[in-house]
C-alpha cells in the first residue's frame, strides 16, 4: 500500500501521459477519505449503541426497533439519485456533499433530545437521507480528481479510510460506555463532535472539484449542463444491466451470517464480530484490490469479484462448519466488497460525460441497492421453501451463471472509450 | 479565505469541539461517579426481614450506589423499606427457590450473561447470552427458566435484527434451545416462516407455557409444549403474555394504534372464553412484560420521562376503567414471590 500525503495541485486532475511511475494519491481522495472516516466514526458509534440505547433507556421493544432499522436501511437508495442530479446540475458536488454531511450532523443534535420511537425514527431517517445525498457527489469528486489509470486505487484508498472509521466507531462507543457507565448521552455528544469535524474538514479544506468547469478549462468550450439524456448514454447502460443482474443475486450479509449460525459451528455470542471481521477484511483488501483493478480491468474485477461472494455463500453452508469456514466466509465477503463497492463507482464515473458524472455514479449505486433489496426479499422466500443450505447453493449456482454471462460484457465495459 | 486561513479555521474548529466534547465526557464521568457513590434515597431494611414471607423482587433503578441491584420488599408493604441483595441484573425474575438474572457487561466488545441464583442469592449456574437482555421468567415451582434477548449486530453494510428466546432447566440440565426451532402452528396450520421471532415466555407448569410469536407484521399469543416442541396459536395481536396466578387469564400488551406507530396498552384475556378486556384507562405506551400482583391486579414498569434510566413500578386493576397507581418507586423487572 502506497499512500503519500504530498500535496498535489488543487483538483489533482493533471496526470496526463505520465503513467510509468505511480503518482501519490491525490489530496482530494485523502481529504474525502478522512471526511468519510470521521463521519463513519460518528455514525457507527451511534449505530453500535442504538439497540442498547433504545431498549435500555428509551424503552422500545424488538418490534419497534426492527421498524426503525428497516427505515434506516431503506431510505438512502432513492435520495441518492436526487443528490447526484443536484451535483451535476449545479456543477457543485462539494457543496451538495456538504449538504448531505451537514444534514447527518444536524440529525445527531436532534438525536440528543429525541425521545420515543417516532422521534428517533425521524432523526435516523434524516441521517440516512444525508448519507444518500452525499455519496454520489463525493464519489464523482474522487472520479474527477483522479487520472483514469489510478481510479481503482483511489477508490480503494477512500473505502479503506471509510471502513477504518466504521471499525473505530463501535470501539470508541463501547470505550466511552466503559468510562461513563450508562453514559449514552456521552456517546451521542462525542459522535456529534466527530460529525462536526468531518463537515468542517470538507467545508474548509475540501477542494471544490468541478468537472464541467475543469473540462472547459482544459479543452476549450464549456460542456453542456447536465441533461437526463446523459444517463441513457449507451456506454452506461451495459453497466447498469450487469450491476442489476449481479445485484439480484446478492443477498444481504444478514442471511450469510444467519446461515453460519444455523449450522451451529460457531457460538452465537460471536455474532457481532461477524461484522467486524468482514469490515477488517474489506479495509485491508480495498487498496490492493483497487490497484489490481487498475491493472487487469475494473469491469473484470467487478464481475469476477462476485465469485468471492459465491465462495462466501458456499463457505457459509459447508457441511463441516468450523471456525475456519467462518473466517473464510468473512474474508471472502470482505474481498467481495473490496472488488465491487468502490470499483463500480470508478467504472460508472467514466461511462458518462463529465457533466453527468454524479448522476451516473448515483444511477449505478441505486440500481445495485434496489436489486439487493429485491434479492433479500426474494431470498427470504427461497430460504423458507428450500432451507438455508439448498437456498444458498441455488443462489450460488445462479450467481456463477450470471458471472459467466456478465463476463461476455467485460471487454466492452473495460474497453469503452473513457470520458476524462 | 486563503488556504492558510482555512487550515487555521479548521484547526480552531477541531480544537474547540475536542475541548467541548472532552469537557462533557469528564463532567459526565464525574457526575455519574458521584451519583453512583451516593447512598440510595429509598429507605432500606435488612435482607432477613423480607426473605421469608410473600414478597416482590425487583431491580432497583435509583441513580445511586445500588443502581441496578436487585432489591426485595414485603408484598404487604411494597412502598416500604427495601432490602438489597448485592446482585446486579438488567432483568430479574424470582421464585422462592431462586432467581434468574440477565446481565450485560459492556466492555469494548459487549457481552451478556444469564446467571442463576439460589434462594440466598448465590450463583449456581451461568450461560453466555447471544444479545441484549429483554425478558426472563421462571416456572411456578422454579424448575424451568426462560430468557429472551435481542440479537442485534452493528454495521452499516447490513443489520440483522431478531430475538432469541430459550427455555432450560434452572441451574443447568436439560435445554430446549431456541423456541424458533419449535414447530409453529397458526390457526391450525403448520407453518414455517423464516422471519419468525419468539419472545416473552410465561409458564403454566413445567410442560406448558405461553409466549409471543411474530411473523410478517403480525403477533400471536401461542401456547407452547416442551415435550411436543410445538407453538400453537391461541389468538392474534398479543405480546409478552403473563399468566394469572389462578391460571385462568392471560394479560399482555396490544398495539392499539396499528400501522407505523406503536402504542401499547394492556389487555386481559379469559383463556376459557377467549373474551378480551382492554384496560382503557390503564397505561399507554407501556413496554414491559406485566406481572400479576394477585388474581385481579397487574404490575408493570414505566420509565420516568424526565430521568433517563429511572423507572417506577405501577399497579392497575384488570377492569377497563381502572387507573394505575404507583406501587414501588425506582423499581423495574418486578416479580412476585408467593
Asked whether residue A161 falls in the same domain as residue A267, the answer is no
Rounded mean pLDDT of B295-306? 90
CB contact under 8 A, A267 and B128: yes
Does A124 reach chain B within 8 Å, measured CB to CB? no
- A132 contact residues in B (CB cutoff 8 A): none
- A253 contact residues in B (CB cutoff 8 A): 155, 157-158
- A114 contact residues in B (CB cutoff 8 A): none
Asked whether residue A34 falls in the same domain as residue A163, the answer is yes
For residue B110, pLDDT over 70 is answered with: no
pLDDT in tens, A259-314: 887 766 666 666 667 888 899 999 999 999 999 999 999 999 999 999 999 999 99
Backbone φ and ψ for A326, nearest 5 degrees, come out as: -65, -50
CB contact under 8 A, B108 and A174: yes
pLDDT in tens, B206-220: 999 999 998 877 889
| Strand ranges in B139-290 using DSSP code E only, listed in sequence order | 144-152, 161-169, 175-178, 183-186, 189-191, 197-203, 208-215, 218-225, 230-236, 239-243, 249-255, 264-270, 276-278
Say how many domains are in chain A. Answer: 2
Rounded-to-integer distance, Cα A140 and Cα A24, Å: 19
Query: Can you tell me which residue has the cell 442530479?
Result: A85
Does A174 reach chain B within 8 Å, measured CB to CB? yes
Residue A61's pLDDT band, with cuts at 50, 70 and 90, is: low
CB contact under 8 A, A205 and B129: no
- A120 contact residues in B (CB cutoff 8 A): none
Q: What is the DSSP string of B90-152?
A: SEEEEETTEEEEEEEE-SSS-EEEEEEEETTS-EEEEEEESSEEEEEEE-TTS-EEEEEEEEE
A87 in any annotated domain: yes
CB contact under 8 A, A181 and B261: no
Interface pTM (ipTM) of the complex?
Answer: 0.80
**Alpha-carbon B108 to chain mean position:** 24
Q: How many CB atoms lie within 10 A of CB B300?
A: 27
The residues that bridge with B232 in the sheet, in sequence order, are: B185, B223
Q: Label residues B120-145 b or e (16+ Cβ within 10 Å = b).
A: ebeeebebebbbbbbbbbbbeebbbb
pTM over cut 0.90: no
From A180, A210, A240, give the residue that closes a domain: A210
Does A324 reach chain B within 8 Å, measured CB to CB? no
Asked whether residue A89 falls in the same domain as residue A31, the answer is yes
pLDDT in tens, A336-349: 999 999 999 999 99
Q: Determine the distance in angstroms separating the CA of B4 from the nearest CA of chain A, rounded to an integer.
A: 10
Domain range for A368:
228-415
Q: At what angle do helices A237-248 and A298-316 cross, to 10 degrees?
A: 10
Across the interface, of B28, B134, B240, the residue whose CB is closest to A183 is B28
Asked whether residue A191 falls in the same domain as residue A244, the answer is no
The contacts of residue B59 (CB under 8 Å, 6+ apart) are B68, B69, B70, B71, B89, B90, B91, B92, B331, B332, B333
Which three-class secondary structure state does DSSP give residue B326? strand
Does A85 reach chain B within 8 Å, measured CB to CB? no
| For testing contact with chain B, the best of A34, A269, A316 (most B CBs within 10 A) | A269
| For testing contact with chain A, the best of B194, B239, B304 (most A CBs within 10 A) | B194
Across the interface, of A52, A176, A253, the residue whose CB is closest to B132 is A52
Q: Tell me the domain boundaries of chain B.
A: 1-37
Residue A223's pLDDT band, with cuts at 50, 70 and 90, is: low
Asked whether residue A164 falls in the same domain as residue A46, the answer is yes
A24 CB-side CA count, 13 A: 11
Does A135 reach chain B within 8 Å, measured CB to CB? no
Asked whether residue A255 falls in the same domain as residue A205, the answer is no
A364 in any annotated domain: yes
For residue B158, pLDDT over 70 is answered with: no
Asked whether residue A108 falls in the same domain as residue A65, the answer is yes
Q: How far is CA A281 from CA A30, A275, A420, B161, in A?
A: 20, 10, 32, 23
Rounded mean pLDDT of B229-250? 95
Q: How many CB atoms lie within 10 A of CB B83?
A: 18
Q: What's the residue count for chain B?
A: 338
Residue A187's pLDDT band, with cuts at 50, 70 and 90, is: very high
Asked whether residue A272 falls in the same domain as residue A196, the answer is no
Q: Please check whether residue B239 is in contact with residue B213, taking contact to mean a CB–CB distance below 8 angstroms.
A: no
CB contact under 8 A, A51 and B32: no
CB contact under 8 A, B199 and A56: no
Q: Please check whether residue B93 is in contact with residue B292, taking contact to mean a CB–CB distance below 8 angstroms.
A: no
Sign, CA dihedral A157-A161-A162-A166, equals positive
- Percentage with pLDDT > 70 across chain A: 81
Rounded-to-integer distance, Cα A214 and Cα A10, Å: 11
More confident position, B286 or B72 = B72
As given in the structure block, the three cell numbers for residue B130 are 447471544
pLDDT in tens, A128-168: 889 999 999 999 999 999 999 999 999 999 999 999 999 89
Q: Please check whether residue B106 is in contact with residue B131, taking contact to mean a CB–CB distance below 8 angstroms.
A: no
Rounded mean pLDDT of B297-308? 87
CB pairs under 8 A between A and B: 181
CB contact under 8 A, A72 and B108: no
Asked whether residue A116 falls in the same domain as residue A157, the answer is yes
Q: How far is CA A251 from CA A256, A381, A415, in A?
A: 8, 12, 30
For residue A59, pLDDT over 80 is answered with: no
- A41 contact residues in B (CB cutoff 8 A): none
Q: DSSP code of A205?
A: I
Does A119 reach chain B within 8 Å, measured CB to CB? no
Q: Tell me what pLDDT residue A62 has.
A: 47
Asked whether residue A202 falls in the same domain as residue A269, the answer is no
Residue A175's pLDDT band, with cuts at 50, 70 and 90, is: confident
A20 in any annotated domain: no
User: What's the CATH code of the domain at A254?
Assistant: 1.20.1250.20
Asked whether residue A199 falls in the same domain as residue A286, the answer is no
For residue B316, pLDDT over 90 is answered with: yes
Does A55 reach chain B within 8 Å, measured CB to CB? yes
Q: Tell me what pLDDT residue A321 has.
A: 61
Does A71 reach chain B within 8 Å, measured CB to CB? no
For residue B152, pLDDT over 70 is answered with: no
Mean pLDDT of all residues belonging to chain B: 89
For residue A9, pLDDT over 50 is answered with: no
A131 CB-side CA count, 13 A: 25
Amino acid at each position: 500500500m502506497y499512500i503519500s500525503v504530498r500535496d498535489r495541485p488543487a483538483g489533482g486532475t493533471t496526470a496526463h501521459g505520465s503513467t510509468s511511475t505511480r503518482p501519490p494519491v491525490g489530496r482530494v481522495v485523502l481529504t474525502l477519505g478522512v471526511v468519510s472516516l470521521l463521519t463513519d466514526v460518528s455514525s457507527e458509534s451511534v449505530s453500535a449503541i442504538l439497540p442498547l440505547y433504545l431498549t435500555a433507556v428509551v424503552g422500545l421493544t424488538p418490534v419497534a426497533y426492527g421498524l426503525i432499522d428497516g427505515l434506516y436501511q431503506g431510505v438512502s437508495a432513492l435520495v441518492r439519485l436526487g443528490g447526484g442530479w443536484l451535483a451535476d446540475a449545479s456543477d457543485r458536488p462539494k457543496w451538495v456533499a456538504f449538504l448531505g454531511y451537514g444534514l447527518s450532523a444536524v440529525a445527531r443534535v436532534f438525536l440528543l433530545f429525541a425521545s420515543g420511537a417516532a422521534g428517533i425514527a425521524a432523526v435516523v431517517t434524516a441521517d440516512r437521507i444525508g448519507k444518500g445525498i452525499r455519496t454520489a457527489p463525493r464519489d464523482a469528486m474522487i472520479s474527477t480528481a483522479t487520472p483514469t489509470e489510478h481510479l481503482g486505487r483511489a477508490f480503494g484508498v477512500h473505502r479503506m479510510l471509510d471502513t477504518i472509521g466504521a471499525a473505530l466507531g463501535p470501539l470508541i462507543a463501547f470505550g466511552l460506555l466503559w468510562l461513563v457507565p450508562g453514559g449514552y448521552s456521552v456517546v451521542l455528544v462525542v459522535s456529534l463532535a466527530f460529525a462536526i469535524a468531518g463537515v468542517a474538514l470538507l467545508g474548509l479544506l475540501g477542494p471544490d472539484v468541478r468537472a464541467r468547469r475543469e473540462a472547459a478549462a482544459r479543452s476549450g468550450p464549456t460542456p453542456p449542463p447536465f441533461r437526463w439524456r446523459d444517463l441513457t448514454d449507451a456506454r452506461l447502460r451495459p453497466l447498469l444491466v450487469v450491476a442489476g443482474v449481479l445485484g439480484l443475486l446478492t443477498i444481504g450479509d444478514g442471511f450469510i451470517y444467519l446461515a453460519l449460525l444455523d449450522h451451529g459451528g460457531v457460538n452465537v455470542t460471536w455474532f457481532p464480530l461477524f461484522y467486524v471481521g468482514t469490515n477488517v477484511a474489506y479495509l485491508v483488501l480495498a487498496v490492493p484490490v483497487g490497484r489490481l483493478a487498475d491493472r487487469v480491468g475494473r469491469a473484470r474485477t467487478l464481475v469476477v469479484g462476485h465469485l468471492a461472494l459465491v465462495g462466501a455463500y458456499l463457505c457459509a453452508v459447508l457441511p463441516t462448519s468450523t471456525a475456519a469456514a467462518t473466517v473464510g466466509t468473512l474474508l471472502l465477503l470482505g474481498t467481495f466488497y473490496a472488488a465491487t463497492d468502490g470499483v463500480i463507482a470508478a467504472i460508472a464515473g467514466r461511462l458518462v460525460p463529465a457533466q453527468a458524472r454524479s448522476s451516473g455514479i448515483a444511477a449505478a449505486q441505486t440500481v445495485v441497492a434496489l436489486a439487493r433489496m429485491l434479492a433479500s426479499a426474494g431470498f427470504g422466500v427461497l430460504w423458507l421453501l428450500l432451507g438455508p443450505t439448498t437456498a444458498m447453493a441455488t443462489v450460488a449456482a445462479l450467481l456463477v451463471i450470471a458471472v459467466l454471462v456478465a463476463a461476455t460484457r467485460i471487454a466492452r465495459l473495460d474497453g469503452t472509450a473513457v470520458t476524462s | 479565505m486563503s488556504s492558510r486561513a482555512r487550515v487555521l479555521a479548521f484547526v480552531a474548529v477541531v480544537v474547540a469541539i475536542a475541548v467541548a466534547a472532552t469537557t462533557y465526557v469528564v463532567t459526565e464521568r464525574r457526575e455519574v461517579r458521584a451519583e453512583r457513590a451516593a447512598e440510595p434515597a429509598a429507605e432500606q431494611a435488612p435482607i432477613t426481614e423480607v426473605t421469608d414471607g410473600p414478597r416482590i423482587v425487583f431491580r432497583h433503578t435509583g441513580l445511586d450506589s445500588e443502581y441496578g441491584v436487585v432489591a426485595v420488599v414485603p408484598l404487604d408493604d411494597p412502598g416500604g423499606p427495601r432490602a438489597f441483595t448485592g446482585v446486579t441484573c438488567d432483568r430479574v425474575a424470582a421464585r422462592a427457590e431462586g432467581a434468574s438474572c440477565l446481565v450485560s457487561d459492556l466492555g469494548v466488545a459487549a457481552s451478556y450473561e444469564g446467571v442463576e441464583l439460589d434462594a440466598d442469592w448465590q450463583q449456581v449456574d451461568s450461560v453466555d447470552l447471544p444479545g441484549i437482555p429483554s425478558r426472563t421468567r421462571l416456572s411456578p415451582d422454579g424448575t424451568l427458566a426462560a430468557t429472551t434477548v435481542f440479537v442485534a449486530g452493528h454495521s452499516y453494510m447490513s443489520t440483522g435484527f431478531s430475538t432469541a428466546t430459550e427455555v432450560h432447566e434452572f441451574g443447568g440440565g436439560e435445554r430446549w434451545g431456541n423456541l424458533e426451532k419449535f414447530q409453529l402452528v397458526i390457526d391450525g396450520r403448520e407453518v414455517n416462516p423464516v422471519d419468525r421471532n419468539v419472545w416473552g415466555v410465561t409458564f403454566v407448569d413445567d410442560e406448558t407455557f405461553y409466549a409471543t410469536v411474530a411473523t410478517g407484521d403480525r403477533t400471536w399469543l401461542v401456547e407452547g409444549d416442551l415435550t411436543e416442541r410445538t407453538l400453537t396459536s391461541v389468538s392474534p395481536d398479543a405480546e409478552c403474555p403473563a399468566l394469572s396466578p389462578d391460571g385462568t387469564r392471560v394479560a399482555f400488551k396490544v398495539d392499539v394504534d396499528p400501522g407505523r406507530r406503536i402504542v401499547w396498552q394492556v389487555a386481559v384475556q379469559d383463556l376459557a372464553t377467549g373474551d378480551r378486556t382492554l384496560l382503557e384507562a390503564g397505561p399507554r405506551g407501556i413496554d414491559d412484560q406485566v406481572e400479576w400482583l394477585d388474581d385481579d391486579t397487574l404490575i408493570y414498569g414505566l420509565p420516568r420521562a424526565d430521568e433517563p434510566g429511572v423507572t417506577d413500578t405501577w399497579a392497575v386493576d384488570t377492569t377497563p376503567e381502572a387507573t394505575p397507581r404507583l406501587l414501588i418507586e425506582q423499581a423495574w423487572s418486578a416479580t412476585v414471590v408467593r
